[in-house]
C-alpha cells in the first residue's frame, strides 16, 4: 500500500495535481516491546516479565505479518509528503463494527491505538492545514467512542 501511495503521489506531483490520502491503520508498536513480555502491576511498581523457557509463544506468521506492516507503517509516517500523523490512543476512540447488525450495540470501543496518516502531493491544497489544532480536535471528536453513551442509553430505555 505504501509503495502504491508513493507512486500515485509522485505522479500527482509531476502533473501538479492536488491529491490527498488519509490512511487509517492500527498504530504499529515498537517490535522490542512486543515479544514475550507482559506487565504486571504490584502496588505502584510495574515489572516486565520475560518468558524463560527458551520457546517463543509468538506465531511465526504473525511475526512476519507484523514486520511487513511495520515497514509499510514506517514508510508512510516517515514519508516526506506526510503532513500529519495523529495517534488516537486505545480506549479513547471507537468505531462501528462490521457485525453491528448481529450485536445488541452498534458502537465498539477500540482496544488498540489507531493512526490517522495524512499524505499530500506537492501541489496539494491546504498544505499544513491538517496539522493544526482545529483539524486534530475535529478528528478526535469524530472518532470519539460512543460505546458508553449507547450502553447508558440502552439501560435507561430497558
Mean predicted confidence (pLDDT) in 142-153: 77
Confidence grade of residue 132 (pLDDT, cut at 50, 70, 90): confident
Q: Is the pLDDT of residue 97 over 80?
A: no
pLDDT in tens, 3-19: 999 999 999 999 999 99
| Percent of the chain whose pLDDT exceeds 90 | 31
pTM of the model: 0.69
Band (124; pLDDT cuts 50, 70, 90): confident
Average pLDDT over residues 129-158: 76
E strands of the chain, at which residues? 20-26, 37-42, 45-50, 82-88, 94-96, 107-109, 114-120
- The share of the chain scoring above pLDDT 70, in percent, equals 72
Polymer length of the chain? 158
Mean pLDDT over 90-97 rounds to 82
Residue 16, CA distances (Å) to 8, 76, 115 in order? 12, 21, 27
Burial class (CB in 10 A: 0-12, 13-18, 19+), 123: middle
Amino acid at each position: 500500500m505504501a509503495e502504491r501511495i508513493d507512486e500515485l503521489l509522485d505522479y500527482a506531483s509531476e502533473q501538479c495535481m492536488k491529491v490527498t490520502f488519509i490512511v487509517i491503520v492500527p498504530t504499529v508498536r515498537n517490535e522490542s516491546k512486543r515479544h514475550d513480555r507482559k506487565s504486571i502491576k504490584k502496588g505502584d511498581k510495574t515489572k516486565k516479565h520475560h518468558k524463560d523457557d527458551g520457546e517463543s509463544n509468538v506465531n511465526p506468521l504473525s511475526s512476519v505479518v507484523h514486520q511487513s506492516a511495520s515497514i509499510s507503517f514506517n514508510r508512510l509516517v516517515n514519508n516526506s509528503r506526510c503532513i500529519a500523523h495523529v495517534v488516537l490512543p486505545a480506549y479513547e476512540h471507537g468505531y462501528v463494527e462490521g457485525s453491528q447488525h448481529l450485536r445488541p450495540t452498534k458502537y465498539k470501543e477500540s482496544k488498540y491505538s489507531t493512526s490517522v496518516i495524512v499524505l499530500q502531493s506537492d501541489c496539494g491544497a491546504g498544505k499544513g492545514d491538517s496539522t493544526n489544532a482545529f483539524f486534530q480536535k475535529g478528528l478526535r471528536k469524530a472518532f470519539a467512542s460512543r460505546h458508553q453513551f449507547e450502553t447508558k442509553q440502552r439501560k435507561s430505555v430497558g
